[in-house]
Amino acid sequence: MLIVGASGGVGTFAVQLAKLFGAEVTGVCSTRNLEPVRSLGADHVVDYTREDFAGNGRRYDRIFQLAGTRSPADCRRALTPGGQLILSSGEGAGRRIGPLGRMLEAVVPSPFVSQRLGAFEVKPIGDDLRALSELVEVGRLAPVIDRTYPLPETPAVLRHLETGHARGKVVITV
């Protein structure tokens, strides 16, 4: 499994959960995040500032793209023939319909290719949330906190998140 954006808020959980389910995990992140992503359990890391995961010849059964500007077509080249690409938003700058265009670009070809392409949707389900909570309580899943801000500094939080370089979750204290 390849996780693009492995050092971000969702990516840090994705790496840990994929390992818990027995996947061989490759995390894509910047140079400064290589060691933190390894420490979460990633078997391999790709520094996107030095290596192109879509053009390095490796193939993955699943790609979870949480960050980055690679097109779904680029990601599909890194998938095995029966692989699955899951997109969660992505770069929308300069696009009239924001990240929705990237989602459509992934989903529309689905009926015509052997790979499964789709969008990641969050559906809070009680049993799933309880299972995650139990994993946290027993120490098998750990939230990664980048920074903590007091409520009046919320504009600074948004500016930090807009850089796309938060490591883990950003917390606002009330």
Structurally, the chain folds into a number of domains equal to: 2
Do 16 and 92 share a structural domain?
yes
- The most confident of the ranges 27-36, 98-107, 120-129, 155-164 is 27-36
Do 172 and 110 share a structural domain?
no
Final residue of a domain: which of 102, 119, 136? Answer: 119
Do 20 and 81 share a structural domain?
yes
The mean predicted confidence, pLDDT, of the chain is 87
- Please give the Cα distance from 5 to 166 (Å, whole number): 10
Strands (E), the chain: 2-4, 26-29, 44-47, 60-65, 79-87, 116-119, 145-150, 169-173
- Please give the Cα distance from 46 to 141 (Å, whole number): 22
**Torsion angles phi and psi, residue 4, rounded to 5:** -90, 120
Question: What's the domain range around 174?
Answer: 145-174
Do 64 and 106 share a structural domain?
yes
Do 113 and 154 share a structural domain?
no
Query: Is residue 135, in this structure, part of any structural domain at all?
Result: no
Query: Is residue 124, in this structure, part of any structural domain at all?
Result: no
Final residue of a domain: which of 119, 136, 153? Answer: 119
| pLDDT band at residue 165 using 50, 70 and 90 as cut-offs | confident
CATH of the domain at 48: 3.40.50.720
Up-side HSE of residue 14: CA atoms within 13 Å toward CB? Answer: 26
Do 81 and 152 share a structural domain?
no
- Please give the Cα distance from 126 to 110 (Å, whole number): 30
26-30, 58-62, 96-100, 128-132: the lowest-pLDDT one: 96-100
Asked whether residue 70 carries a pLDDT value surpassing 90, the answer given is no
Do 94 and 9 share a structural domain?
yes
Beta bridge partners of 28: 4, 46
Do 102 and 38 share a structural domain?
yes
- Please give the Cα distance from 154 to 8 (Å, whole number): 19
Average pLDDT over residues 52-58: 92
Query: Is residue 29, in this structure, part of any structural domain at all?
Result: yes
**Cα→Cα distances 174→94, 133, 171, Å:** 34, 22, 10
| pLDDT band at residue 91 using 50, 70 and 90 as cut-offs | low
Residue 46: per-residue pLDDT: 96
Residue 106: per-residue pLDDT: 59
Do 106 and 29 share a structural domain?
yes
Residue 67: per-residue pLDDT: 81
Query: Is residue 131, in this structure, part of any structural domain at all?
Result: no
CB atoms within 10 A of CB 172: 13
Query: Is residue 59, in this structure, part of any structural domain at all?
Result: yes
Whole-prediction pTM = 0.84
| pLDDT band at residue 163 using 50, 70 and 90 as cut-offs | confident
